[in-house]
Amino acid sequence: NAGVTQTPKFQVLKTGQSMTLQCAQDMNHEYMSWYRQDPGMGLRLIHYSVGAGITDQGEVPNGYNVSRSTTEDFPLRLLSAAPSQTSVYFCASSPRDRVSGAFFGQGTRLTVV
């Protein structure tokens, strides 16, 4: 049971480059979300989805796009990377209709130079 899988684990980008952080879950969870964590800080919500075809903004959505075409996948796109987006990114999934905690991936460490 893989849970929540994030790829890549590490990435270095140049300012202005674009890339997609991948997130997949195999638990058939309705909810998926993306967080970023800067050094010494707590997690901040970027975007989330309550099901396929539905996405919404979190606390810090600027500079990021998401889409949810399937239940399993929730990619996060950086259209034009900036040094301020250097961070560790976590993806999470959770079920909608029962009381349960969220499951987090192991993170993608992104550096923008």
In this structure, what are the phi and psi dihedrals at residue 83, rounded to the nearest 5 degrees? -55, -30
| Cβ-based nearer residue to another protein, 15 or 69 | 69
Rounded Cα gap, residues 27 and 4, in angstroms: 8
* Least Cβ distance, residue 32 to another protein (angstroms): 7
Distance CA 10, CA 53 (A): 28
> Which residue number, 14 or 99, has a Cβ lying nearer to another protein?
99
Cβ within 8 Å of residue 20, ≥6 positions away: 75, 76, 77, 78
Site string for another protein, 34-53 (x = CB under 8 A): -x------xxxx--xxx---
Residues in touch with another protein (CB under 8 A): 4, 30-33, 35, 42-45, 48-50, 56, 58-59, 88, 90, 92, 94-107
